[in-house]
Chain A
Amino acid sequence: MLSIKNLTVNVNDKQILKGINLEIKAGEIHAIMGPNGSGKSTLSHVLSGKGGYTVTGGSATYQGKDLLEMAPEIRAREGVFLAFQYPVEIPGVSNIYLLKAALNSIRKHNGQPEVDAMDFLMLVKEKVRLLEMDEKFLYRAVNEGFSGGEKKRNEILQMAILEPKLCIMDETDSGLDIDALKIVSEGVNSLRSPERSFVMVTHYQRLLDYIKPDKVHVLAHGQIVKSGGADLALELEEKGYSWVEEAAA
């Protein structure tokens, strides 16, 4: 699905990622953990194509294609989905408008006709029910005035409708209380499939109580310093990050 080789990235001439190597197979869930300033968010932003980052070396290959060459919207249409840490509020654009624009962009990209209005409405309403959301959400402006939990749930709703192949979850648990965390996690778990991979970028282990990863990587000072199974997250929770940072030093 995704193969990252020796990726180095600068922000304002400062090297933030110092040679990342990562192999993610279809259907796998990888957790990227690390302390603040380790480069976690930079990694998710670079993969989704956000501006302000300079790739100075290495590669990221997504389904055999050079991911870093693509414009952000092309990556999205090819099936890369970034779930934002802080989803942006867009007054004046309704949720349902954005969903329709996004879905039709993907369909156009794949040479398919625009989605039928009735089919679309049925699809959206079904997903809304699945995520225990209020239908009124659809007609409200994107994320405007939403609580932290509602914003994150909205990201999952978009994901459920756009059916991406690679989901990059940037600090999904930040700002969520335990109930919201459960609902969001259930949403993610319901989207797990053998064809879909997840990259969960997180500071804390608690998200991984709900979404069980196949692999856990620890990022420190711009490098992956340790990789392991789900147990590694528990060990980190217990011992803190200094343990791996020291071990790597």
Chain B
Amino acid sequence: MNTAIASRYAAEYPTIAPALPGQNLPWLQTLRAKALEQFSALGFPSPREEEWRYTNVSGIEKKLFSPSTGLTAADVDAEWLKAYQLQDAWILVLVDGHFSAELSVLDGLPEAISVMSMADALTTQPDKVEQYLGLAADQSEHSFIAFNTAWFTDGLFVHVPAKLVLDKPIQLLHIVTDSDAMATTRNIIIAEALAEVKVIETFIGVTNAYLTAAVTEIFVGQNADLTLYKMQSESEKAYHFGGSYIKQARDARFTHHNFAFGGLLARSDIHVDLDHASECELNGLYLGVKRQHIDNHTRINHLKPYAISRELYKGVLDDRARGVFQGRVIVAVDAQKTDSQMNNRNLLLSDDAEADTKPQLEIYADDVKCGHGVTVGQLDEKSVFYLQSRCVDEETARNMLTFAFANEMVDKIKIRGLHDMILEQVLARFPQQGVNKEWL
């Protein structure tokens, strides 16, 4: 525990607070004050905590990140940004934690749906925000959530009314342009009963060290279907914490595709609460090179009977990179007929790369079907020979298989533009000789 740095943040807080949104909302002021208190007492999480044992965040504690202000759309390289903007999507852009109306594309939204910045939502529909903020993300869980609650400057607010099927995805484009900046954003996504919506979180950055601390709370109503994509391609010296906290109602479906590519140290938490007969699918791909440390931490709470969860996380680690997967599935005592499957597969491309994997099943019900599997290893030699016997030379075969290992997760993306964007990211990180893009 390092509370020295926490006190420095706390000391700065009074100068920053007046600029934070929702100053006129007593409930939010109380919430922020409590969060500040929690963070001051605990500091950033330490490896002594079980849920952080493989991830040491001391790098973050070495400097004081400050909220950035005064940046405008003109400061963002439009050409660079273009590569990350999806065609045929509504896009909400946050620059250094602040909504940019100029860069966002929100025209033509159906009347009934709300897609706006969190600051706007706190002005126009504070009651709705009050109802949901902090409902899925428990700030006593760990201090990053408390940190986020105290400091968040803006974020995305989405409310999709019942039965509305959104034909275009909503993209949250989270950009950091400023060195030593902290981008602390809070997002709320609500899909009411029978609604269908796809949301894409894209994290990118152009500078050296900065800190992203984003918390997304998601509420999937009865029989609603929500797909969340996350592409984390932060700059290579960035620190990233991203938490997604999901509450599913009866018969709700939630699918997550989590792509972790960037950052020097990146941690994602995904917590899902499953109600009666709801289903969740968690897919993840992490690619680590150089000295990257990428941690994915998932928790699936089967609270009621008949829910189904499927989880597959894959990692490819090269150089001195380290990948961490901690996956917990908790089956409550009355969550009978739970059907749960969790898998984590890691491919190590160098002797110095490391994968730490820890699947945990905690089952308190007695009539359930739960399984998990974990592998850490090299390429399957049988597959290498199979490709060789099909005329492919050994090096190309190995490259193809490495690519294929990752591509299995990319192929699950059915939004064409996003699929291609993520494919580019994979190919950029593992420039595979012999993988012919034109043939894919």
* Chain A interface residues (CB < 8 Å from chain B): 48-51, 71-73, 76-77, 81-82, 84, 87-88, 90-94, 96-98, 100-103, 105-106, 109, 141, 158, 162
Docked CA distance A87–B408 (Å): 19
Residues 207-266 of B at the A interface (beta carbon under 8 Å): none
B436 CB to nearest chain A CB (Å):
7
Chain B, range 365-423, C-beta contacts under 8 Å to A: 380-383, 385-394, 396-397, 400-401, 403-408, 411
User: Among B382, B392, B400, which residue has its beta carbon within 8 angstroms of that of A88?
Assistant: B382
Question: B393 and A49: CB pair below 8 A?
Answer: no
Is B440 an interface residue when CB atoms closer than 8 A count as contact? yes
The complex places the Cα of A44 from the Cα of B385 at a distance, in Å, of 13
B439 sits at the interface (CB 8 A): yes
- In angstroms, Cα B389 to Cα A87, docked, is 11
List the 8 closest A-B pairs by CB distance, nearest first: A92-B404, A105-B391, A88-B386, A72-B388, A92-B407, A92-B408, A76-B391, A102-B391
Query: How far is B408's CA from A158's CA once the two chains are assembled, in angstroms?
Result: 22
Contacts of A103 in B (CB 8 A): 391
- The answer to whether A71 touches B411 (Cβ under 8 A) is no
Cross-interface CB contact of B393 among A71, A82, A91, A93, cutoff 8 Å = A71
| A141 and B385 alpha carbons, distance in the complex (Å) | 17
Cβ-defined contact, B393 with A101, below 8 A = no
> Once the chains are docked, how many angstroms separate the CA of A82 from the CA of B389?
7
Query: Are B439 and A49 in contact, with the CB atoms below 8 A?
Result: no
B interface majority secondary structure: helix
From B385, B396, B403, B408, give the contact of A72 (CB < 8 A).
B385
The reply to whether A49 and B388 contact each other, CB–CB distance below 8 Å, is: yes
Is the beta-carbon distance between B394 and A88 smaller than 8 angstroms? no
From the candidates A88, A92, A109, A141, name the one contacting B403 in the complex (CB within 8 A). A92
Instruction: Check B393–A73 contact: CB distance below 8 A.
Output: yes
Q: Which of B386, B394, B405 has the most CB of A within 10 A?
A: B386
Assess whether B408 is in contact with A141, with CB atoms less than 8 Å apart. yes
Interchain residue pairs with CB less than 8 A apart (6): A72-B389, A77-B391, A91-B405, A93-B404, A98-B390, A141-B411
Contact A97 B439 (CB under 8 A): yes
Chain B residues lying within 8 Å of A158, measured Cβ to Cβ, are 390
CB nearest neighbor in B for A82: B389
Chain B minimum-CB-distance residue to A164: B391
Contacts A51-B381, A51-B385, A72-B385 given: A162-B404 contact, CB under 8 Å? Answer: no
Closest CB in chain A relative to B237 CB, distance in Å: 30
CB distance from A11 to the nearest CB of B (A): 15
Contacts A51-B385, A92-B411 known; A162 to B440 CB distance under 8 Å? no
Interface size on B, residues (CB 8 A): 28
Q: Are A101 and B389 in contact (CB under 8 A)?
A: no
Contacts of B389 in A (CB 8 A): 48-50, 72-73, 76, 81-82, 84
A90 and B390: CB pair below 8 A?
A: no
Contact, CB under 8 Å: B439 / A84: no
CB-CB under 8 A for A71 and B403, given A88-B383, A90-B383, A97-B439 = no
**Complex CA–CA separation, A87 to B385 (angstroms):** 11
| 0/1 string, B418-431, CB within 8 A of A gives 1 | 00000000000000
When the two chains form their complex, are residues A76 and B404 in contact, meaning their CB atoms are under 8 A apart?
Answer: no
Q: A92-B404, A98-B390 are in contact. List 6 more A-B contacts (CB 8 A).
A: A71-B393, A72-B385, A76-B390, A87-B386, A91-B408, A93-B401
Residues of chain B with a CB closer than 8 A to A81's CB:
389
| B403: A residues at CB distance < 8 A | 92
Give Cα distance in the complex from A105 to B389, angstroms: 11
Query: In the docked arrangement, what's the CA distance between A109 and B436, Å?
Result: 18
A97 CA to B436 CA, complexed, in Å? 9
Contact of A106 with B386 in the complex, beta carbons under 8 Å = no
Q: In the bound complex, what is the Cα–Cα distance between A102 and B436 (angstroms)?
A: 12
Contact A71 B394 (CB under 8 A): yes
Q: Which residue of A lies closest to B410 (CB)?
A: A92
Give A149 to B242 CA distance when docked, in angstroms: 46
Give chain B nearest CB distance to A226 CB in angstroms: 30
Distance between Cα atoms of A220 and B22 in the complex (Å):
85
Which chain B positions have C-beta within 8 A of A97? 436, 439-440
Least CB distance from A100 to B in Å reads 5
Contacts of B407 in A (CB 8 A): 92-93
Inter-chain contacts of B401 with A (CB < 8 A): 90, 93
CA distance A122 to B221 in the complex (A): 48
Q: When A51-B385, A88-B382 are in contact, do A102 and B408 touch as well, CB less than 8 Å?
A: no
Cβ-closest chain B residue relative to A81: B389
Nearest CB in chain A: distance from B411 CB, A: 7
By a CB distance below 8 angstroms, the chain A residues around B388 are: 49, 71-73, 76
| CB-defined contacts of A48 to chain B, threshold 8 Å | 389
Q: Are A101 and B383 in contact (CB under 8 A)?
A: no
Contacts A88-B386, A101-B436, A101-B439; A73 near B408 (Cβ below 8 A)? no
Chain B residues within an 8 Å CB radius of A49:
388-389
A102 and B392 contacting across the interface, CB-CB below 8 Å = yes
- A101 with B386: in contact, given A51-B381, A92-B405, A92-B411 (CB under 8 Å)? no
A28 to chain B, nearest CB (A): 22
Inter-chain contacts of B382 with A (CB < 8 A): 88
B387 partner residues in chain A, CB cutoff 8 A? 90, 98
Residues of B within 8 A of A98 (CB): 387, 390, 392
Q: How far is the CB of A90 from chain B (nearest CB, A)?
A: 6
Within the assembled complex, what's the spacing in Å between the Cα atoms of A219 and B383?
Answer: 28
Chain A residues, CB < 8 A from B391: 73, 76-77, 101-103, 105-106, 109, 162
Q: Tell me the complex Cα distance, A105–B436, Å.
A: 12
Residues on the B chain within 8 Å of A84, using CB:
386, 389
Rounded to whole angstroms, the CA-CA distance of A84 and B401 in the bound complex is 19
- A73 vs chain B, min Cβ distance (A): 5
Closest to A106 in B: B391
- Provide the B290-325 mask, 1 if CB < 8 A to any CB of A, else 0: 000000000000000000000000000000000000
